[in-house]
Amino acid sequence: MQRKIQTRLLLLFFTATTFFGFAGELKKDSDQNNDTKTSRKQEVKEEVTHHLLDSHDFGIYSYTDDETGEVHHVGFPLPIILWDDGLKVFSSSRFHHGEKVAEVEGDYYKIDHGKIYRTDASGTIKYNEEGHATNEKPLDVSITKGVFMMLVTAVLMFFLFRGLAKSYAKTRGIARGVGRFFEPIVIYIRDDIAIANIGEKKYKKYMPFLLTIFFFIWFLNMFGLTPFGVNVTGNIAVTTALAAIVFFITTFTGTKDYWKHIFDPLGDGMPWIGKIIIYIVLVPIEILGLFIKPFALLIRLYANMTAGHVVLGSLLGLIYIFQNWIGGTLSFGLAFAISLIEFFVALLQAYIFTILAALYFGFASETHEHAQEHEGEAQHL
């Protein structure tokens, strides 16, 4: 009973700190009576949008000094790496959170809407009729907030599972410590995802990737629910890269039967004269399916994680908009309930991505004999 109470208190504390970490980004100017709800809504919208974007420094939260009105940012800078007539490396602190122009070896750079542009000493950014910046943009390969968290996650996974593997080898297959928590998950991925979708003969060569992608997405999703405000899997560039890896693995490990099914889906049971008319429609659909599958992977993960952050941010913003105990209490209660659901969604999205990847690998590695076994099982049922 005591352990259950402690667990609930820890969960409440963790969720509350998540709320306050995000809510701390909103400006606390409730004393200004002339502030309308429209302007508050716009401010909340800007803060939620800012939360979803990547940044060149690791900002945890910000607050406004009531006496001076100065905005203080709590966090730490990250390295800026540009290729602009040569390699240029410097700290993001030179930008002062996008408020100043950075001078590097006689060239001037400024951050505008999360992107770095070349400019002059005055920091002028020119825009076209559509509102897009027209300044020259150098090649930016900086360590952003999202990249930093991916590196942290990768290092965490390396040392965690490397230690678990050594411990597992020493104890002859008996999990100890943290391994008791991860062992059932690894076994489930092996038995119910890899073997079930790929087959017992070929699943082993895909297991390292399936385990890596599952825990990588899960850990990143969980980091996104912390007060650090890191929305890595809500970045479409990240989900696109993950889906592209699945696409390349599926493409380059595809068997002869896999490609024959795509370009000759009807097999040898029909004369070629009858096939031509059908293939004009069928083959392009099969080829299009090669790209639709990874696209479904990237858009599902991106959309679900982004939607969760938008909903949480909007509910927390209602506390600032209403500025009364009734609306604030209801908004906080809804945000608390949604955050609990997000813990489940974080795990669910990692599971869905992994099982779909295993399913695609199963299609690619399927042989003619394996396909006949499936047909025999279907007829037997």
Please state whether the predicted TM-score (pTM) of the whole model is above 0.85.
no
Per-residue confidence band for 19, with pLDDT thresholds at 50, 70 and 90: very low
As beta bridge partners, residue 62 has 73
Choice between 329 and 201, residue whose per-residue pLDDT is larger: 201
Q: Are 208 and 337 in contact (CB under 8 A)?
A: no
Per-residue confidence band for 117, with pLDDT thresholds at 50, 70 and 90: very high
Q: pLDDT tens digit string along 3-18?
A: 444 444 344 444 444 4
Per-residue confidence band for 105, with pLDDT thresholds at 50, 70 and 90: confident
In the predicted structure, residue 293 carries a pLDDT above the cut 70: yes
Give the closest residue to 92 by CA, choosing from 83, 81, 82, 80.
80
- Residues 240-269 have a mean pLDDT of 86
Max mean pLDDT range (22-26, 99-103, 268-272, 356-360): 356-360
To the nearest whole percent, how much of the chain has pLDDT over 70? 78
Domain spans, the chain: 79-142, 147-376
Give the closest residue to 196 by CA, choosing from 332, 74, 361, 76.
361
Q: Are 58 and 78 in contact (CB under 8 A)?
A: yes
Choice between 81 and 8, residue whose per-residue pLDDT is larger: 81
Q: Are 114 and 54 in contact (CB under 8 A)?
A: yes
Burial of 99 (0-12, 13-18, 19+ CB in 10 A): exposed
Give the closest residue to 216 by CA, choosing from 89, 354, 42.
354
**Summary mean pLDDT of the chain:** 80
**DSSP 8-state assignment for residue 195:** I
Strand order through the sheet with 107-112: 102-104, 107-112, 115-119
Alpha helices in 172-266 (DSSP H): 179-188, 196-198, 207-223, 236-252, 256-263
Q: pLDDT tens digit string along 153-180?
A: 999 999 988 888 887 777 776 777 777 8
Per-residue confidence band for 267, with pLDDT thresholds at 50, 70 and 90: low
pLDDT of residue 310: 83
**Relative orientation angle of helices 256-263 and 325-365, to the nearest 10 degrees:** 100
Centre a 10 Å sphere on the Cβ of residue 371 and count the other Cβ atoms it contains: 13
